[in-house]
Amino acid sequence: MSQAATSASPDDAPRRVIRLDGIHRTFEVGGEQVHALVDVDEEILAGEHVAIMGPSGSGKSTLLNILGCLDRPTAGTYELEGRSVDELSTRELTLVRRNQIGFVFQFFHLIPRLTATDNVELPMVFAGIPRAERKQRATEAIQAVGLTNRADHQPEQLSGGERQRIALARATIMRPAILLADEPTGNLDSKSSKDILDLLDGMSERGLTLLVVTHDPKVARRADRIIVLVDGRIAKRVSGDRISDVLEILAED
Amino acid sequence: MPASPQKNELGSLRWRDLLQFAGGSLRGHGLRTALSLLGVMIGVSAVVILTALGEGARRYVIEQFAGLGTNLVIVLPGKTETTGTIGIGGVPNDLTLDDALAIERQVRSVRKVAPVTAGTEEVSSGDRRRQMPILGTTRAYIEVRDLRMERGEFLPDEEMFRGGAELVLGNKAARELFGADDPIGTIIRVGDWRFRVIGVLAQQGTNLGINFDDVAIVPVRTGMRMLNRSSLFRVLAQVRAHSDLEIAKRSILDLITERHEEEDITILTQDAVVSTFSQILDTLTLVVGAIAAISLSVAGIGIMNVMLVSVSERTREIGLLKAIGASGPQILAAFLVEATFISAAGGLLGLAVGWSAVALLVQVYPALPASPPVWAVAAAFGLSVAVGTIFGFLPARRATRLDPVTALSRR
Ligand SMILES: Nc1ncnc2c1ncn2[C@@H]1O[C@H](COP(=O)(O)OP(=O)(O)O)[C@@H](O)[C@H]1O
Ligand SMILES: [Mg+2]
């Protein structure tokens, strides 16, 4: 399985896949304005592994939803692969979600009535990929997450860790360039968490751009760098091995 | 790595996959699906059964009239208005045997004429007696009404005025008066009159209100005297060809009007009678079917309800579908297919149930040729499918409009 290539730019510097410029996201709640994101600037390079940390309510999920084109910023520009997302039509946004971005959630969001294989196949179903190719790719992806013997199980017959591995197979089945994970280990025991993190590391090594929202220092430590959000603003940027520098900010949580 | 289409189209969801996806989610909540399916089933089977009954009534009436033969002109005394009551023309002249004879002799397009008188009298043989309809007519009647004999002969072929004492019995009448004995040649009494039985009709059932199984047929002249009639009940005239029907009607009307010096008869043909009845009963069938169809819209509301519940239960799923790149139209299609699936399956079941009920009905009442008209079956099924699609639209659109972030944030 190969991820979208980290093609080198002419001067051999890594390509920029995401650029955020002055992103604001404001919600109206009962006539009051909630500023979930305030003036966020950021650049993410192809193949980077980035952890997003911060106290709860600091805007991590909101940021991820905007990056995943599930939500639009109130102000600011978001450029994905050099294209401004604000200018994309509904139709183009759907195609971006389908082909360029994979999502993993804390609560897995597998469809309960479908088997593991059928869940993994689902994005390909809506992309109109022929049945035979779907079966083959789903089988490979399930094998890659080590669950071949669970392929015909329904989600409720799987453990939390197994569910998240299936969700991971589903998120990457369309070979997206970017994977967004919102607290992927938030609901797992430490053994299952480690399995997931190992899988994510492997994907990252093969060139997938990875953004992981997490509370867990063990998760964040594996990232190339860490972004810390506080009250919707980027409060700190450190490299993954400097995790200790941000722990005091998070301790308030 | 197989070539993967990086830019696939939005309408790329395949029908088979769409159906499978919708079918899977329906199976997920079987009871609810079954109940709303039942609603559609009842609506559709009601349409099928009620229109079948209407159509059965129509066919029954047509069959009754069809027994008249298509080349028949019926002449009735009295000018009947369209309302069916006798008009203000005063007392009409009698329709006499002379009139019947004149029609036979002078109207060229007429092949045969059968004058008919009718009444009821007590018929007795030995100590068995019963009240029975009496028909007075001539030999021509057997051909004009296409009757069949079981044994013996029909009335002799003689001129109308002779007034013999022969009598032909209906099948059931013969059995009741004579049991297993052969009645041919026996003398029986009708009122104060004596007749010799010369024939027994084969079993033929009821036609146009006359039960030919329970009747005694005598020569017309005798019948008129015995029943004390000065006017014929009617005159049946058979034309040579169907194309002569209109000319015959015209000629008969002119002839009798000239003889009576006023227009005081009514002329019916099978075509006219049948088409009037047929129209009335068609309308009846349509109205009954339409009322039954209204129950389908009630079923539609049931489907809408089920789909709304389904959408709200599957909020997270819908959010997920959006996150993995399902387009609005695809999600709309998935939910519409579900609703349509319920209604179409209910419709098919309804057709099956309706048809079975009609088949059973025909078994029990063979006399009623009940059968759902094709238009009603097609309309009922088409409507049921449409009901699902129309009433499924609102819930489906609600699904496409869900905000994926809110939908996914639900635990
Ligand atoms: N749909 C929404 N409507 C109103 N307020 C919201 C909505 N989504 C998020 N918020 C608010 O925005 C802030 C950031 O939320 P979120 O991004 O979920 O934080 P985190 O993921 O870091 O815990 C919170 O104050 C939250 O209440
Ligand atoms: Mg969050």
User: Where do we find the tokens 């200018």?
Assistant: A87
Domain that holds residue A103: 16-251
A227 close to ligand 1 (CB < 6 Angstrom): no
Instruction: Tell me which of B234, B263, B292 is where a domain ends.
Output: B263
The reply to whether B83 falls in a domain is no
Q: Cβ of A98 and B25 within 8 Å?
A: no
The reply to whether B86 falls in a domain is no
Task: Answer yes or no: is pLDDT of B286 > 50.
Answer: yes
Confidence at B237, pLDDT banded by 50, 70, 90: very high
CATH number of A101's domain:
3.40.50.300
* Ligand closest to the CA atom of residue A65: 1
- For the segment A31-75, what is each residue's pLDDT rounded down to a tens digit? 899 999 999 999 999 999 999 999 989 999 999 999 999 999 999
The number of folded domains in chain A is 1
The reply to whether A25 falls in a domain is yes
Query: pTM of the full predicted structure?
Result: 0.71
Write down the pLDDT at residue B117.
94
* Numbered residues of chain B with Cβ closer than 8 Å to any chain A Cβ: 1-2, 4-10, 12-14, 16-17, 21, 24-25, 27-28, 316-317, 319-328, 330, 404-405, 408-409, 411
Beta partners for A118? none
Q: Cβ of A94 and B10 within 8 Å?
A: yes
Write down the pLDDT at residue B277.
79
How far away is chain A from the Cα of B326, in angstroms, using its nearest Cα? 6
Among A60-69, B56-65, B237-246, B372-381, which stretch is predicted with the lowest mean pLDDT?
A: B56-65
| SS3 label, residue B203 | coil
- CA nearest neighbour of A110 among A121, A98, A125: A121
Instruction: Tell me which of B235, B263, B291 is where a domain ends.
Output: B263
B286 and B397 together in one domain: yes
Q: Cβ of A103 and B24 within 8 Å?
A: no
Write down the pLDDT at residue B7.
43
A122 close to ligand 1 (CB < 6 Angstrom): no
Domain that holds residue B57: 13-64+276-409
Confidence at B11, pLDDT banded by 50, 70, 90: low
Task: Answer yes or no: is pLDDT of B382 > 70.
Answer: yes
How far away is chain A from the Cα of B16, in angstroms, using its nearest Cα? 10
The more confident residue out of B185 and B64 is B185
B195 and B125 together in one domain: yes
Contacts of A2 in chain B (CB under 8 A): 1
Using CA coordinates, name the residue in chain B closest to A92.
B10
Report the nearest-CA residue for atom 8 of ligand 1.
A62
Q: What is the pLDDT averaged over residues B397-408?
A: 90
Q: What is the pLDDT averaged over residues B298-325?
A: 88
Write down the pLDDT at residue B1.
36
The reply to whether B375 falls in a domain is yes
The more confident residue out of A4 and A228 is A228
What DSSP letter does each residue of chain A carry, written as one string? --PSP-PPPTTSPPPEEEEEEEEEEEEEETTEEEEEEEEEEEEEETT-EEEEE-STTSSHHHHHHHHTTSS--SEEEEEETTEEGGG--HHHHHHHHHHTEEEE-TT----TTS-HHHHHHHHHHHTT--HHHHHHHHHHHHHHTT-GGGTT--GGGS-HHHHHHHHHHHHHTT--SEEEEESTTTTS-HHHHHHHHHHHHHHHHTT-EEEEE-S-HHHHTTSSEEEEEETTEEEEEEEGGGTHHHHHHHHT-
Task: Answer yes or no: is pLDDT of B4 > 50.
Answer: no
- For the segment B80-128, what is each residue's pLDDT rounded down to a tens digit? 654 444 445 556 788 999 999 999 999 999 999 999 999 999 999 888 8
Percentage of chain B modeled with pLDDT above 90:
36
The reply to whether B271 falls in a domain is no
Instruction: Tell me which of B215, B233, B263 is where a domain ends.
Output: B263
Write down the pLDDT at residue A4.
46
Among A52-56, A126-130, B187-191, B279-283, which stretch is predicted with the lowest mean pLDDT?
A: B279-283
The reply to whether A150 falls in a domain is yes
Write down the pLDDT at residue B262.
87
Task: Answer yes or no: is pLDDT of B291 > 70.
Answer: yes
Q: Is residue A61 within 8 angstroms of chain B, CB to CB?
A: yes
Report the nearest-CA residue for atom 17 of ligand 1.
A59
Write down the pLDDT at residue B81.
52
How far away is chain A from the Cα of B59, in angstroms, using its nearest Cα? 52
Write down the pLDDT at residue B66.
67
Separation between Cα atoms, residue A170 and residue B189, nearest integer Å: 98
Q: What is the pLDDT averaged over residues A95-118?
A: 93
Average pLDDT, chain B: 85
Report the nearest-CA residue for atom 13 of ligand 1.
A36
Write down the pLDDT at residue A47.
92
Which of B316, B320, B330, B337 is the best mutation test for A, with the most CBs of A within 10 A? B320
Q: Is residue A106 within 8 angstroms of chain B, CB to CB?
A: no
The number of folded domains in chain B is 2
| B200 Cα: distance to centroid of ligand 2 (angstroms) | 98
The reply to whether A4 falls in a domain is no
